[in-house]
Amino acid sequence: MKIICPKCKENAELTMDFTSVTCDSCGLDMSYGEYIKFVAHNEEKYSDILGDYTGSTEGQTAGSLDDWD
């Protein structure tokens, strides 16, 4: 399945079983879960997704992807 690469904005490939995302243009290779975290953390229009998984975020910072583990 074709999706947009979050790094280079070219076409990336999502496996049919939703386990990994790869991009031949920039070499991106990550799990689908990592892809969702990356997009939610780095794309401003999707950052509200983070609020669906937390309570109040008032007074908190987004942190880094390392904090998500």
Amino acid at 36: I
Say how many domains are in the chain: 1
Q: If we measure between CA atoms, which residue out of 10, 11, 13 comes closest to residue 32?
A: 13
What digits encode the pLDDT tens for the residues 6-59? 899 999 999 999 999 999 999 999 999 898 888 877 877 766 665 555 555 555
69 falls within a domain: no
Domain, as residue range, for 39: 2-55
In angstroms, how far is CA 34 from the centroid of its own chain? 6
Q: Give 69 or 36, the one with higher predicted confidence.
A: 36
Q: Give 64 or 9, the one with higher predicted confidence.
A: 9
The pLDDT of residue 45: 72
62 falls within a domain: no
33 falls within a domain: yes
The pLDDT of residue 39: 85
